[in-house]
Copies of this chain bind each other. A is one copy, B any other.
Amino acid sequence: MNFLNTTDLDDLTLDRVLLAAEQLRSEPQQDWLAGKSVALIFLNPSMRTRTSMEVGVFQLGGHAVVLQPGKDAWGIEFEPSTVMHGEAEEHIAEVAAVLSRYVDVIGVRAFPKFVDWSVDRQDKVIKAFAQYSTVPVISLETITHPLQELALALTLRSQLGDPRGKQFLLTWTYHPKPLNTAVANSAITIASRLGMDVTLLCPNEDFLLDSRYLDIATTQCSQHGRSFEISHDIATAYSGKDFVYAKSWGALPWYGNWAKQQPQHHEYKHFIVDEEKMSKTNNARFSHCLPLRRNIKATDAVMDAPYCVAAEEAENRLHAQKAVLGMVTGALS
């Protein structure tokens, strides 16, 4: 089985994975991947994901091979039926078929190309890996970041106890570049899945996420009898929240058109998470997926506060990923 999105897992499976991750905190060494290998394909940079995957695979008895196509490995073509006269030296059909002969799991990081959202939202790269591979494929972040969702879920459970009925805020923040919406899409997906009241705070309608993810959040909140709300007012959005999650992303209407977007972006630097905003919450915890630019997305005071649990969430990546590796290889029964 693959692990491309948490929405592919039924509630029982999701809960089983989270429980396994929680157990791995105290029992990190397992033999689930003894003698097995995992390919980690990074089409974009990574620190946390690569380190935690390499370490996690090792702690499970296996070995991870890190590949960076286009840098140390050949560039890959993902379109079917193409005459390959461009830069790519091989097709995903061969890459996936061959890797499936060498390794037991394939992890893939493939960020959007930031030219045309109608193309990027199809998530073609990871889907092509899943289509052509005969071994399980795990997403290491594409247009969603499902492993981060699991880490966030573990953090919510450890910090809030039962998250159901608790108040979750996802706030947009400024960043000098237009970033991926993946973690934002993922944050509202998992918070709503866990039965929280979810608020999405962003400067204006241009910064709304793709309707696919707004619909998921709305539906899941509704199934739990909770609410999904959109807000453009900072003070009311922070008010009474139990958990504040921050992320910056580029506005979809200007996707691939950063020159035009940039001036508007700069008007919203005041969305930075600071102590004054946090003081409006219900003694909320604060987290972020990292990497985070200090004093741009959140102040030093917030990052260094006891309520900042970003490092714990990062640690939970390790436990969550090992549980997922156990799940997709069948070791986790």
Contact = CB atoms under 8 A, between A and B. Distances in A.
Given A73-B46, A74-B45, A101-B315, A295 B83 contact: yes
A324 B48 CA distance: 26
B51 A65 contact: yes
B50 A94 contact: no
Given A58-B37, A85-B176, A93 B318 contact: no
A89 interface: yes
A296 B94 CA distance: 14
Given A94-B310, A98-B290, A69 B89 contact: no
Interface string A59-92: 1000101011101111001001111110011110
A290 B59 contact: no
Given A90-B291, A94-B310, A311-B98, A46 B72 contact: yes
**What is the interface residue range for chain A against chain B?**
35 or more
Contact of A296 (B63, B83, B296): B83
Given A47-B74, A97-B314, 12 more contacts: A45-B71, A47-B95, A48-B98, A51-B99, A51-B102, A71-B72, A80-B300, A83-B294, A93-B303, A94-B292, A101-B312, A102-B315
Contact of A290 (B55, B68, B77, B94): B94
Interface in A25-65: 28-29, 35, 37, 39, 42, 45-48, 50-52, 54-55, 58-59, 63, 65
A294 B82 contact: yes
A10 interface: no
A291 B89 contact: yes
B101 A314 contact: yes
A113 interface: no
11 contacts: A42-B72, A47-B73, A51-B65, A55-B103, A81-B295, A83-B296, A90-B290, A93-B304, A94-B310, A94-B311, A101-B312
Interface centre among A52, A290, A294, A311 (most CB of B within 10 A): A294
A287 to B, nearest CB: 12
Contact of A51 (B103, B176, B290): B103
Contacts of A35: 28-29, 59
Contacts of A101: 311-312, 314-315, 318
A293 interface: yes
A296 B51 contact: no
A74 B291 contact: yes
A313 to B, nearest CB: 9
Nearest to A77: B294
A303 to B, nearest CB: 7
A59 to B, nearest CB: 7
A242 to B, nearest CB: 23
Contacts of A77: 293-294
A285 to B, nearest CB: 16
Nearest to A66: B72
A52 B98 CA distance: 10
Contacts of A45: 71-74
B68 A72 contact: yes
A51 B108 CA distance: 15
A265 to B, nearest CB: 12
